[in-house]
Structure 1
Amino acid sequence: MRIDLHCHSDASDGTRPPAEVVRRARAAGVDVLALTDHDTVAGWDDGAAALPPGMTLVPGVELSCRQDGASLHLLGYLFDPSAPDLAAELARIRADRVIRARTMVERLRGLGVDVTWERVRELARGEAVGRPHVARAMVEAGAVRTLDEAFTPDWIGAGGRAYADRYALDPARAVRLIRGAGGATVLAHPRARRRGYVFGDAVVERLAEAGLAGIEADHPDHDASDRARLRDLASALGLFVTGSSDDHGAATGDRIGCETTSAAAYAALLDAAAGAVRTG
């Protein structure tokens, strides 16, 4: 059984609709797929409606958090999206995403970049507007050649000339919110050095105390030594280990299924979540 527990659709910053994500996953031989868009569950219904016989969709979300001034991402699974406290926080994060994106557009225009809010909003077909949508508009405008070039101090990288901060959850609180909604949480790509998502053992230990269930160790941005260290840490803390593609469609080379989760870890995830029922 092939299990991929971290994928994005155009409900957030992926490039393909949820139904197409599901079809591509099936074509890649994936049997269990989690749809984990940023701060939104808007793609769940369309993804579930596209499921072929024998395939399972695990409803999820990638939550925007902040730890010691740095962005930290948590994957929440199998929770009740109508739980009031969690739903309110997701709505607040999405609203602040809009304010942030508009601010970055204004700053880019002040720097002579011919981007518009209208175009960014068109590119962000779903609820969750993010920096990747601004970066795509910059590529279209000819300000940069690639998305990576946009994510630098010259432009919209952290601390960059057109960068704007936004609201994000404390990760321990996010873990408790997901647990309170009947779900389970996994720490996403905690050693993705290229993107600056690098968190030490103490952070993971704090989240484990708050109720974290697992660590995403097998990720395209993790090298062999980091994967080994994360496995040792997970074992010491009683957490399970997942593997996921973190696919964003064309933006990441359509890599669904390039990393997978073991059947044992998937069973542990289901055991850890008391909430929503998986689909398929």
Structure 2
Amino acid sequence: MRIDLHTHSTESDGTQAPADVVASAREAGLDVLALTDHDTTRGWTAARGAAQAAGLGFVPGIEISCQRGGRSIHLLGYLVDPGNQALVTELEQARRSRLTRMDRMVERMAADGIPISIEEVRAQLAPGATLGRPHLADALVAAGVVPDRAAAFRDWLHNDSRYYVSHYAVDPVRAIALVAAAGGVSVIAHPFTGSRGRVLDPAVVLEMVDAGLDGLEVDHRDHDDAARDLACSIVREHDLIATGSSDYHGAGKLNRLGENATSPEQFERILAASTAGGYLPPG
């Protein structure tokens, strides 16, 4: 069984609609797919319907934006209750912050003569989706400023750029509590990748473990051998769930569906740990 537990659609920063992500997953030979858009559950209904029609297993998920000491941390929450009010409130606050943040980033770029407007950025956004830097990158591509998303992030939009503006993000320990209260299972996404800025301090990971963290995303394209070894050692020491995923964004990134996968044994642990349910099995 091939299981990919980290993908994105146009409801956040992917380039395919939720149903199209499912269709691509079927073409890639996957058996189970999780949709984990940033700070939103809006794509679940369409993805679930498409998965049921295609005979794929579907896991409703979310990638929650967290922050500690200026370091971005992404927490995957699987099988949460989307109606949990505390979780909904937190996600809406993050979404509102992203809107004002993008205005400020565009203003900084305009001050340096970079020809982009907030209207052009919003034109890249699917209705109801969560606004983020990838949409600014797409606007820069459309305006001919850069050739592709990768160049936009490399040259203009990385965390140390003069144009970077942070946005509201919940503390990771609180995010773990929110996921647990919503009946879900929490896994840190790509915890030790160096390509996204400073590597997450293992001490913070251990604090998250003490707070009830369920697992780590071990196998990810942005983890080198040292990062995987470190993640595996923490998983073994604390009996955590170990996942592997693609972090698929459609044409927005090089990541391909199924390039990393979660074992059926580890996936069963996720299902057993959830109290909210919501898993659609294949078939």
Q: Tell me, yes or no, whether TM beats 0.5.
A: yes
Q: Is the 2:191–2:199 Cα contact (8 Å) retained in structure 1?
A: yes
1:138-217 mapped onto 2 (5 Å cutoff): 138-152=140-154, 155-196=156-197, 198-217=199-218
Q: CA deviation at 1:135?
A: 1.1
Once residues 60 and 274 of structure 1 are traced to their aligned partners in structure 2, the CA distance between those partners, rounded to angstroms, is 14
State the one-letter code of the partner of 1:22. V
Match in the other structure for 1:276: 277
Q: Is the 1:186–1:216 Cα contact (8 Å) retained in structure 2?
A: yes
Match in the other structure for 2:35: 35
Deviates more, 1:270-279 or 1:165-174: 270-279
State the one-letter code of the partner of 1:59. P
Q: Is the 2:183–2:274 Cα contact (8 Å) retained in structure 1?
A: yes
Distance 1:53 1:18, change over 3 A: closer
Once residues 62 and 149 of structure 2 are traced to their aligned partners in structure 1, the CA distance between those partners, rounded to angstroms, is 23
Match in the other structure for 1:15: 15
Match in the other structure for 2:221: 220
| 5+ long unaligned stretches in structure 1 | none
Aligned length: 279
Q: CA deviation at 1:254?
A: 5.8
Once residues 50 and 198 of structure 2 are traced to their aligned partners in structure 1, the CA distance between those partners, rounded to angstroms, is 33
Q: Is the 2:219–2:260 Cα contact (8 Å) retained in structure 1?
A: yes
Post-superposition CA distance 1:50-93 (Å, at most 9, x none): 11353111000000000221101000010101111110000000
Q: CA deviation at 1:197?
A: 5.4
What TM-score, normalized by structure 1, do the two folds share?
0.96
RMSD: 1.4
1:95-134 mapped onto 2 (5 Å cutoff): 95-125=96-126, 126-134=128-136
Q: CA deviation at 1:119?
A: 1.9
Deviates more, 1:99-108 or 1:19-28: 99-108
Once residues 254 and 66 of structure 1 are traced to their aligned partners in structure 2, the CA distance between those partners, rounded to angstroms, is 24
State the one-letter code of the partner of 1:26. R
Match in the other structure for 1:85: 86
Residue 156 of structure 2 aligns to a residue in which SS?
Answer: coil
Q: CA deviation at 1:155?
A: 2.7
Q: CA deviation at 1:222?
A: 0.7
Aligned-residue sequence identity (percent) comes to 46
| 5+ long unaligned stretches in structure 2 | none
What TM-score, normalized by structure 2, do the two folds share?
0.95
1:233-248 mapped onto 2 (5 Å cutoff): 233-248=234-249
Once residues 224 and 253 of structure 1 are traced to their aligned partners in structure 2, the CA distance between those partners, rounded to angstroms, is 19
Distance 1:255 1:127, change over 3 A: same
Q: CA deviation at 1:278?
A: 1.0
Q: Is the 1:94–1:127 Cα contact (8 Å) retained in structure 2?
A: no
Q: Is the 1:7–1:37 Cα contact (8 Å) retained in structure 2?
A: yes
Residue 242 of structure 2 aligns to a residue in which SS?
Answer: strand
Q: Is the 2:185–2:273 Cα contact (8 Å) retained in structure 1?
A: yes
State the one-letter code of the partner of 2:43. G
Post-superposition CA distance 1:16-71 (Å, at most 9, x none): 00000001001111111000000001100110111135311100000000022110
